[in-house]
Amino acid sequence: MKKKYLGNTGLLVSEAGFGVLPMGPSQLALPIEEGAAVLRYALEQGFNFIDTAQYYQTYPYISKALEDGKYDDVIICSKSLCGDYDGMMEAVFEAQRELERDVIDIFLMHEVRAGQLEERAGAWQALIDAKARGLVKAIGLSTHHVDIAEAAADMAELDIVFPLINYAGLGIRRGDAFASADEMLKAIRRCKAAGKGVFGMKAFGGGSLTVHYQQALDYAFGLPELDSFMIGFGKKSEVDDLLDYLEGRMAPGYNPDVSEKKVYVNQEDCEGCGACKNACPAGAIYWNENGLASVDHEKCLTCGYCSPVCPVRAVIMY
């Protein structure tokens, strides 16, 4: 698989990265050995870039996949939602312990929203200090927000930006409002001009765009501003599909079978705003015991009306 350097970090990563979120407890909840086997399979095919996060609870899959020491060029990115200094530093230590690595390649502030650069200043200082101490090689942030990506371009200590971008603009925000793919792309270009490493996420908008598989990938991998694009996997067949696409073997018009996939609301992300519930024509979305949105699969039409209106990309399909 083709590899590119991540900005000025010196880290050489595969053009497609392996996102481990789908195999974890919030989605497929695969047994550790099963998930590790999927990851090992991808590494054998040339992937060397892995994305995880503290709250994904997927470190065991990665540790198991790498336990034989065969893949010494693997680059691991992790992230934390912690907002304070001590919490973020402990998140770095946790990643070191769980992944059995003295140094974490990339560590990010996870899903930074408008106004949070100030609120999470302590966490950012922890990452600056962690890099200075040699605990991590590169630091940065992940975000769904155009304004945060713009600000990242001017952060001198920041090495990496991990933005959400897809052809439909699903999930892209500016402050409290929706924003477009073009707006995010302009922010990405500012980051690249500043020497930041940039890799993208959510080419399929959380699953809603999988029915337009090749269109989504044409857009994602057609952006020269991106050094890599992170794709979530839970099955070997999904790895094979992406490899067929990247290597030019995919038949025109091919789309993966999504007939068995269902719509879910990620409970870690949901804010209970009611936008998806109001948009659902089948009355399939309801408030659960925690005051958050859930889906009644007996009623759900998988029409996708709920996904674009969610302000935090909590509506996903798998």
Q: What is the pLDDT of residues 26-50, one digit of tens each?
A: 899 999 999 999 999 999 999 999 9
Q: Which residues, in sequence order, are CB contacts of 184 under 8 Å at separation 6+?
A: 146, 149, 163, 164, 165, 169, 172
9 domain-assigned: yes
Reduce the DSSP state of residue 75 to 3 states and report it.
Answer: strand
Would you place residue 260 in the very low, low, confident or very high pLDDT band (cuts 50, 70, 90)? confident
Please report, as a single letter, which amino acid is at residue 131: K
Domain membership of residue 38 (yes or no) is yes
Q: Provide the Cα torsion 115, 25, 199, 147; round to 10°.
A: -10
What digits encode the pLDDT tens for the residues 273-288? 999 999 998 899 999 9
Provide the pairing of β-strand 285-287 with 293-295.
antiparallel
Q: Looking at the structure, tell me whether residues 27 and 73 fall in a common domain.
A: yes
pLDDT at 304: 80
* 4-31 confidence digits (pLDDT tens): 999 999 999 999 999 999 999 989 999 9
Residues 67 and 136 in one domain: yes
Q: d(Cα 152, Cα 129) in Å, to the nearest integer? A: 18
Asked if the structure places residue 33 within a domain, the reply is yes
pLDDT-based confidence at residue 117 (cuts at 50, 70, 90): very high
> Is 137 within 8 Å of 9 (Cβ atoms)?
yes
Q: Contact 261/318 with Cβ under 8 angstroms?
A: yes
CB 204 within 8 A of CB 166: yes
- Domain final position from 213, 246, 279: 246
Shared domain check, 235 and 206: yes
Determine, yes or no, domain membership for 46: yes
From 191, 211, 246, give the residue that closes a domain. 246
Same domain, 189 and 301: no
Lowest mean pLDDT among 90-94, 114-118, 259-263: 259-263
Domain containing 266 — which CATH number? 3.30.70.20
Residues 221 and 280 occupy one common structural domain: no
In angstroms, rounded to a whole number, what is the distance separating the alpha carbons of residues 124 and 141?
A: 9
- Say how many domains are in the chain: 2
Asked if pLDDT for residue 268 goes beyond 90, the answer is no
The answer to whether position 253 is within a domain reads no
Q: Are residues 228 and 271 in the same domain?
A: no
pLDDT given at position 281:
85
Residue 187: in which H helix or E strand, if any?
Answer: helix 181-193
Q: According to the model, what pLDDT value does residue 261 have?
A: 86
The pLDDT value recorded for residue 302 is 84
Q: Which residues contact 296 (CB under 8 A, 6 or more apart)?
A: 284, 285, 286
Do 119 and 22 reside in the same domain of the chain? Answer: yes
Asked if residue 32 is part of any domain, the answer here is yes
Mean pLDDT score of the chain: 96
Q: Which residue has the higher pLDDT, 259 or 108?
A: 108
In the structure encoding, which two tokens stand for residue 217, read together?
Answer: 């990938």
Residues 221, 82, single domain; the answer is yes
DSSP state of 105: E
The verdict on residue 288 lying in a domain is yes
Range name among 1-10, 79-88, 141-150, 202-211 with the lowest pLDDT average? 202-211
Residues 295 and 162 in one domain: no
Please determine, for residue 120, whether its predicted confidence score (pLDDT) is greater than 90. Answer: yes
pLDDT at 126 over 90: yes
**Residue 114 belongs to domain with CATH number:** 3.20.20.100
Q: What is the pLDDT of residue 194?
A: 98
State how far the alpha carbon of 195 is from the alpha carbons of 3, 10, 22, 139, 150, in Å. 17, 11, 31, 13, 13
From 188, 221, 246, the end of a domain falls on: 246
Please name which of 49, 21, 45 lies closest in space to residue 226, comparing C-alpha atoms. 49
My answer on whether 8 and 78 are in the same domain is yes
Q: Are residues 223 and 85 in the same domain?
A: yes
Instruction: Check whether residue 61 and residue 177 sit in a common domain.
Output: yes
Q: What's the domain range around 304?
A: 262-318
Residue 251 falls inside a structural domain: no
